[in-house]
């Protein structure tokens, strides 16, 4: 995995939260919070919390006695998350999910939405989630399915790749959509000590205010931005325009400023630590 795949810095946190959040993450965040709604006390840990999209859903859904600690490797993402309304009850902490700074058996649930794909050592991250869970605790996380099942990022990837045929940027294929292997994931979870492992492929609708907004989200509000700039420091606007035209042609009849919608698929995993 390229180092730039985890570089959520500069303008990325703001664009990520404002554009990427509604388009990709809010529907799955609401689903994740619903899956934990029966928890009426205890302590939840969120890893790879990013700009706090799931965190805010958890805070709005779970009853007040449930404590929430949200962590991320990237301090700029946490800084943005902590400044958002609706998170007064949340404890924020910079932390690596592969080396969590918490005691054994501290949490009733561990949640990670679309973060495990970024972990260089996924088995270690699973082992850490297992370690900090109380007996009987649950580990809930989601990964994206193959990019072909999510047309918007697929179109953006192909449009940007066409600008750099000798060295096409592949961030979206390589990392966010590069971990669609439920059998391998379940094996890794068992090796980490989890039991009663299940998964569900879940399709939601990805919506953006326009093709231009969708292209801006991916090209400027994700680490794809770093890949584009590494190939040509002056190409960011050109790549965004090319992606916007491709999304408009593919999903909006060529209209750059019309609302767009398309399916997207993810896999939600739930695993339990033995009681």
Domain residue ranges in the chain: 3-272
Q: What is the pLDDT of residue 15?
A: 75
Q: What is the CATH number of domain 3-272?
A: 3.40.50.150
Q: Stretch 83-91: mean pLDDT, rounded? A: 93
Distance CA 262, CA 72 (A): 29
Structure tokens that stand for 158 in this block: 């192909």
Asked if residue 6 has pLDDT above 70, the reply is: no
DSSP alpha helix (H) spans, the chain: 12-15, 26-35, 53-61, 75-82, 122-132, 151-163, 171-174, 182-191, 211-220, 224-231, 236-251
| pLDDT value for 57 | 96
Average pLDDT, rounded, for the chain: 94
pLDDT one-digit tens code per residue, 185-220? 999 999 999 998 999 999 999 999 999 999 999 999
The pTM assigned to this predicted structure is 0.93
pLDDT of residue 12: 66
pLDDT of residue 29: 96
pLDDT of residue 5: 47
């Amino acid at each position: 995995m390229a180092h730039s795949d985890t570089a959520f810095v500069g303008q990325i946190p703001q664009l990520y939260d404002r554009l990427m959040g509604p388009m990709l993450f809010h529907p799955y965040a609401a689903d994740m919070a619903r899956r934990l709604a029966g928890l009426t006390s205890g302590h939840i840990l969120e890893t790879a919390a990013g700009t706090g999209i799931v965190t805010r859903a958890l805070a709005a859904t779970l009853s007040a006695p449930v404590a929430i600690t949200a962590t991320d490797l990237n301090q700029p993402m946490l800084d943005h998350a902590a400044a958002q309304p609706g998170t007064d009850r949340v404890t924020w902490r910079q932390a690596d999910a592969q080396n969590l700074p918490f005691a054994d058996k501290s949490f009733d649930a561990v949640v990670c939405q679309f973060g495990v794909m970024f972990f260089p050592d996924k088995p270690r991250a699973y082992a850490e989630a297992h370690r900090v869970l109380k007996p009987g605790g649950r580990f809930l996380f989601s990964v994206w399915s193959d990019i072909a099942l999510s047309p918007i990022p697929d179109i953006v990837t192909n449009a940007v790749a066409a600008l750099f045929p000798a060295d096409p940027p592949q961030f979206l294929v390589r990392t966010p959509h590069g971990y669609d292997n439920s059998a391998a994931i379940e094996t890794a979870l068992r090796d980490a000590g989890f039991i009663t492992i299940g998964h569900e492929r879940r399709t939601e609708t990805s919506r953006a205010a326009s093709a231009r907004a969708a292209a801006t989200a991916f090209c400027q509000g994700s680490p794809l931005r770093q890949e584009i700039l590494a190939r040509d420091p002056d190409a960011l606007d050109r790549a965004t325009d090319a992606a916007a035209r491709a999304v408009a042609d593919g999903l909006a009849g060529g209209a750059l400023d019309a609302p767009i919608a398309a399916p997207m698929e993810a896999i939600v995993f739930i695993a339990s630590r033995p009681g």
